[in-house]
Structure 1
Amino acid sequence: MERHVDGRETQTRNDFPLSLFFLSIFFIFLFNSCDNYNKPVKAWFKYYTEEAAITDYENTGRVLMDSTGSKCLESDGDKTLTFYLRNPQNYTMDLTFSDENGVQPGFIIPVQDPYDKSIVRLTYPESFLISMDCGGHIGGTITLKEHDTNRVFPPYSFSLKCNSAPPILKGQTVQTAGGKYVICFYLPDLSGERFRNETHSLYINGSLIKSGTYDEI
């Protein structure tokens, strides 16, 4: 930098390399910052425009909660779960279901809706649910593979049990006979396949009166 008699300042040739050096450093940081900023955006854009994944599911019937807070289905008929698939490219999927032990039961097959490819349904047969009642684990993992290219997408795992609610007593009433109170009610039908092998207990005022299976009672 040169200073003139009239007070003016002019940049000499020796100052340009230093200025160029600082300018280069500035652009390096600028471009690196832009590149780091674009990487997450690109990944996010690719994830939501190309990646398929199951995001949630629901049951068409009643869902119970057991004492451990686990979701439970009842065994009173076939039960269908509906899974919601994020499918931005409308992929056709090859789907498989494995239980919590990694076994693929051939009678439980997830099916993609042919008209709405964002929907996947999985049906448990009643016979299977009856065999798993009283707290059997029926959750598992659904794997997703794109049909045309065999591209594999992230699997979806869920936890679920089968545990039917106990049958409800009906017609409860209290009567007197011989100076005593008599509690009367209709026992539910326990002879069916769902409840026959379960243990049933009758409590009155917190005291156990009778306990056992249908045949024992």
Structure 2
Amino acid sequence: MSLNAYPPVLTQLIRRLSKLPGLGEKSATRIAMFLLQCPKEEAEAIAEGILQMRSQVHTCSRCFHFTDEELCSICRDPARDTGVICVVESTADLLAVEQSGAFKGRYHVLQGVLAPLDAIGPDDIRIKELLKRLDTENIKEIIIATNPSSEGEATAHYLVKLLKDRPLRISRIAYGIPMGGDLKYTDRITMERALKGRQEF
């Protein structure tokens, strides 16, 4: 598809939209065409929503999830278990755990993982802030829910090393065979974790 056929302003918008995660040039073109052909008020409302999001949404001062207030809705919720913190890499991971409905505690978003090859060390993610929370909040358990990547595993091991001498329970979420998965297509590491995390009936 040649973008030369479009007016320069439309071409520029398509190129910008195509930089969004999961969007290629075709999807970006469809979105641009929708914005061009929808009622002007609708396009303006979308643009205003983006501007408001950028100016009003920031990270929670306690857990570093996104919010438009001082504390996010989860940290403000009095029904949450304040003694348990689930440590995740990103807000997207927080939302995945939250959608399961299985966790009723609070979170801590690291906003990244340790990645020495990319020069990302402990001072580049929210580890200091986690330790500060342990000193000021009555935390009884830390659940480490970093992803099963080499960086996620390295971050989990680093956190365990930092926290092991503290008087709290440290656990790691289990990884295994997904519901509807097929054993013959399961990778070695997932199979190993599934066997180690097996439970009695």
**TM > 0.5 between the two?**
no
Structure 1 or 2: more helix by fraction: 2
TM-score by length of 2: 0.24
Structure 1 or 2: more strand by fraction: 1
TM-score by length of 1: 0.23
